[in-house]
Amino acid sequence: MTIERQGTNERSSRIVIHNDTVYLCGQVAADASAGIQEQTQTTLDKVDALLIEAGSDREHILSATIYLRDMKDFAAMNEIWNPWVPTGYAPARACVEARMARQELLFEISVIAAVKK
């Protein structure tokens, strides 16, 4: 059993790969001053890059957990999320309202995906 960790610091790893499953740590927008749609888009762009780095992609996402600072942003977030998910490849998903690590953050996502074979 091999566990590969990438981007590890004292608290977490950005990517963990175990048994052909990719686990991404929670991802947030680089510009926390942006609105919900820009935070969502830039965070999903980061997820794309991390999945590629780990040998996966959007079509291999198994599960996504989305955290919103306020559920009033649910519809606006989904306007970005829906076209980002490839048709026919929607993952299991949960979306919850949560306190964020920083007040200005509106969106965070944690992703589990399969390695592409």
- Residue by residue, pLDDT tens for the chain (117 residues) are 799 999 999 999 999 999 999 999 999 999 999 999 999 999 999 999 999 999 999 999 999 999 999 999 999 999 999 999 999 999 999 999 999 999 999 999 999 999 998
CATH 2.60.120.10 matches 3-114 = no
Distances from the Cα of 60 to the Cα of 1, 50, 51, 96, 107, angstroms: 21, 13, 9, 22, 22
Where do the structural domains in the chain lie, given as residue ranges? 3-114
Partners of 18 in the β-ladder:
3, 21
CA distance 31 to 43: 10
